Structure formats: C-alpha cells, structure tokens
Amino acid sequence: MVDSKARVQPVPATPLRLVVNELIENALAALSGTRNAPILISATVKRRPFLLRSYLVLEVADKGAGMPPAIVAKATTPFFSTRAGNHTGLGLTACSQMVSALKGKLIIDSAHGVGTTVEVRVPVLSTAAIFWQSFLRHRRKKVHTWRG
C-alpha cells in the first residue's frame, strides 16, 4: 500500500531500494516453509505538526516466527546473524547505516511467534519547507547588471 503523498516524494532512490530489498529478503527468509504467507509493504508520509518537516515512512511486515527482544537488540550489529551458512550478518547493519546517513531511523518491532515489522523513517521536505527554501534562496541571489 502506497499513499498518494508518498508517491511524489523525492528521495534517494538507490539507498532506499537497497534497504527495501534487504527487508523483503529478510521477510522471505522469516517466512520460509510457510505457504502463501504475505509480506505487507506500505509507504506513507507523516507530517510533524508545527515543523517544516515530514517523514516518508516505509514498513515491511511479515507474520513469520518473529524475534525475541534479545535478538532484536542485536539485529543491526555487524556480523550478527541467526541464519546459518554463507550469510554474513551485514544486511540490517547496512540498512541501519544507510538510513542513518539519510538522517532517518530504522525501527524493528518484533514478537516471537507473532512476526516482525521494520519501519524506515526518512525525513522529506514538506511543501511549505520547499516553498520557504526556494523563497530564501531567491532572496539571497543578487542581480548584477553591467553598465558600460
């Protein structure tokens, strides 16, 4: 589900694509062995009252096995993984760092036996902020004319 305001927000495409892909891969891994289990993906824009800032909120949710609090606390730690094999344990670490570089937050909400929802919250400019930035930028420019 993507709300209409989220569709038109300019965001850095590459890092957010990498983050969403990793979160979907993790949800698929959590649902392995489960038939027809959906992964819910949503994007909305939430506005902060009285501030010139809004947030793009992306959520990826699954109804997999979920994680106990001790695992959630370590989930973004480099090289930590609950999967065996050739998995490096850098996926959520990279996601967390990319979201932080965008001045955002990655929030993991999980309950063992219930499922996991990962929320990515990235600041985007509101319409009012875009207007004021444009206005202030225009005011700062000095027009020089040549009189010869």
Confidence of residue 130 (pLDDT cuts 50, 70, 90): low
Count Cβ atoms below 10 Å from residue 3 Cβ, excluding itself: 12
pLDDT category, 128, cuts 50, 70, 90? Answer: low
Instruction: Supply the pLDDT for residue 129.
Output: 58
Please provide the average confidence, as pLDDT, over all residues in the chain: 84
Residue 40 · residue 59 · CB < 8 Å: yes
Distances (CA, A) of 52 to 47, 60, 130, 131, 142: 9, 27, 9, 10, 26
Q: What is the pLDDT of residues 3-41, one digit of tens each?
A: 777 666 677 888 999 999 999 999 999 998 888 889 999
Q: For 101, phi and psi rounded to 5 degrees? A: -65, -25
